[in-house]
Amino acid sequence: MDSIDLSEQEVIRRQALNEIRRLGIDPYPAELFPVSVSTEEIKRNYSEEAKNYQDVSIAGRLMGKRIMGSASFAEIQDGKGRIQIYVKRDDICPDDDPTLYNTVFKKLLDIGDFIGVRGFVFITKMGEITLHVKEMKLLSKSLRPLPVVKEKDGTVYDAVKDPEFRYRRRYVDLVVNPGVRNIFIKRTRMIDSLRNLFNSYGYLEVETPVLQPIPGGAAALPFVTHHNTLDTPLYLRIANELYLKRLIVGGFEGVYEFSKDFRNEGMDRMHNPEFTVLEIYVAYKDYLWMMDFVEEMMEKAATDLHGTTQIPYGDQLINFERPFRRITMTDAIREYAGVDITGMDEDRLRGVCRKLDILIDKTMGKGKLIDRIFGEKVEPNLIQPVFIMDYPVSMSPLCKKHRKDPELTERFELIVNAKEICNAYTELNDPVDQRERFQEQLKLSEKGDDEAMYIDQDFLRALEYGMPPAAGLGVGIDRLAMIMTNQPGIQDVLFFPQMRPEKPTEAEDLM
RNA sequence: GAUCCAGUAGCUCAGCAGGUAGAGCACAUCCCUUUUAAGGAUGGGGUCCAGGGUUCGAAUCCCUGCUGGAUCACCA
């Protein structure tokens, strides 16, 4: 990298780096630094009376310096939070040489540098818990200036908020915006909560192929790649449903997987090309059982994260307390759109759509028309958790037909804040019916529906060996995380949301 | 994909009857031993996203492009 491309501050930091080396200090030492406590633990447990934490070591990023001659206050930020440190020249420079304080600390250390300090904890006149430093060591020099975000009385000054900057340099976002870390910690805690529940039921976490010869289990456009040795196309999975069901065929009675799925479709605040779905399949259950299970799961996740079932989302308060409302799709359309679609054929549904001012096109079949009515007129009203049950058969080629109505399927979705969070079936295990449903998908595909499902012959073969009755569930983990962490976009709950690659000039600059 | 908005210092932003740039923080030099958005003084730093056009003159007006955001469409 040519120094002519560096900003003044970057040049100064490189000069400081050289100066540090010249003083015989290794700016990137190899040996461990013995951290004895976290900033959080000190702040939580320190008491003046107990006089605890009188010899501790902490490490982290230097996040602020307030120099007042031969004494200074500064801040260290570790993985848990920040603590103020008090640095006095006479303490860190016990002999006559003041270099460590005057030159190294005051001039050569910058905001963003990692340092380790050892000392004792006290409380300043202003009442702040502070570490009085006796020894200081540089652990890693930072060469780029970190944005300095300040805060007073709850007001944040100069917060880094440009979304492009935040998503492209998430590492900086995490250092500088403390709330961001908590979002991701909560996301992980949420997944822990689900996993713990599944394990407590004795279900087995499994892994199934990401690279699939036939991308099945959902209606979506896949990413295609190529395997050189096999000389065959492979697809990144759009769902793992068909593989998990094969495991149910194989005798596992409860399996689940947190699955990274990939869909070659649009990107926006709700969609990222790769995203996480939980899928779980349980033998000998049906979709009614699964609704109870989902209620338990959601209530537990909410309480594990927030200690309550009431979750703030935007200006809403969402209540995950059991039981959730249950309503069939037909009843929901009757209630919110004022139309009874029972027994309507495709033409009459088209008439309904026209009357309700819903945009449709010729390629839409009965299932899609009903879905449009639901999406336009019903879904926006559904803020609190609600199960929508019994979808039309043509929308659900992997779902068992309804025990009472062959036009419907035993399927439900959980809608929260007008968005689908869960999708579940009584799984179709009749291999003959499944073959027919696939063939109908093939017809749709021949009509031009590029998302119609492929026929997976091996999956049919598996069903022909016999699959026990089972209930299956898919949960959009990113969307659930959005709700559980009160975030408006999927980019805010993904560490590294997909972005257009940076320009070559920028990329070269990063080399 | 459509429409709208935005891109100015490391960060947050101002500047737009057109006269080639400014603030706060950060950075540099100096003063200051319990401060806390520390303070005081002085100073450096910008291909004003890119390219074209109008003009004597463009950060400012026009066109094209790039990147991002919002809304809608499409899609789970």
CATH code: domain of residue A110 = 2.40.50.140
Tokens of A211: 């690279």
For residue range A141-182, list pLDDT tens digits in order.
999 999 999 888 888 888 888 898 999 999 999 999 988 999
Q: Which domain holds residue A85?
A: 8-145
Task: Indicate if CB(A113) is under 7 A from strand B.
Answer: no
Q: What pLDDT, on the 0 to 100 scale, is given for residue A510?
A: 42
Residue A431's nearest CA partner among A467, A403, A396, A394 is A467
Rounded Cα distance between A320 and A484, Å, is 11
The SS3 of residue A43 is helix
In a domain, A397, yes or no: no
Q: What pLDDT, on the 0 to 100 scale, is given for residue A1?
A: 38
Provide the Cα torsion A286, A292, A293, A296; round to 10°: 180
Rounded Cα distance between A367 and A345, Å, is 10
Supply the Cα-derived Rg of chain A in whole angstroms. 29
How many domains does the structure of chain A reveal?
1
Q: What pLDDT, on the 0 to 100 scale, is given for residue A405?
A: 92
Q: What pLDDT, on the 0 to 100 scale, is given for residue A362?
A: 72
In a domain, A16, yes or no: yes
Nearest nt to the A476 alpha carbon by C1': B76
Beta strands in A141-223 (DSSP E): 150-152, 155-157, 204-205, 211-212
In a domain, A51, yes or no: yes
Residues in chain A: 511
In a domain, A431, yes or no: no
Rounded Cα distance between A411 and A395, Å, is 10
In a domain, A74, yes or no: yes
In a domain, A53, yes or no: yes
For the full predicted model, state whether its pTM sits above 0.90. Answer: yes
Cα angle: A225, vertex A191, A472; to 5 degrees: 70
Nearest nt to the A130 alpha carbon by C1': B34
Instruction: Report which of residues 275-334 in chain A place their beta carbon less than 7 angstroms from any atom of strand B.
Output: none
In a domain, A464, yes or no: no
Nearest nt to the A149 alpha carbon by C1': B11
In a domain, A372, yes or no: no
Structural contact between residues A395 and A444, judged by C-beta atoms closer than 8 angstroms: no
Rounded Cα distance between A8 and A4, Å, is 10
Q: Considering only CA atoms, which residue is closest to the C1' of nucleotide B40?
A: A68
Rounded Cα distance between A304 and A312, Å, is 15
Rounded Cα distance between A204 and A252, Å, is 8
Residue A5 CA and nucleotide B67 C1' are separated, in Å, by: 21
The SS3 of residue A290 is helix
What letter does residue A399 receive in the DSSP assignment?
B
- Residues of chain A where predicted confidence (pLDDT) is lower than 70: 1-4, 448, 503-511
Residue A66 φ/ψ region, left for φ over 0, alpha for ψ in the -120 to 50 degree band, beta for the rest: beta
ipTM of this predicted structure:
0.90
Say which amino acid occupies A134: K
- Positions of chain B reached by protein Cβ under 7 A: 1, 9-13, 24-29, 31-39, 44-45, 66-76
Instruction: Report which of residues 150-179 in chain A place their beta carbon less than 7 angstroms from any atom of strand B.
Output: 150-152, 157-165, 167
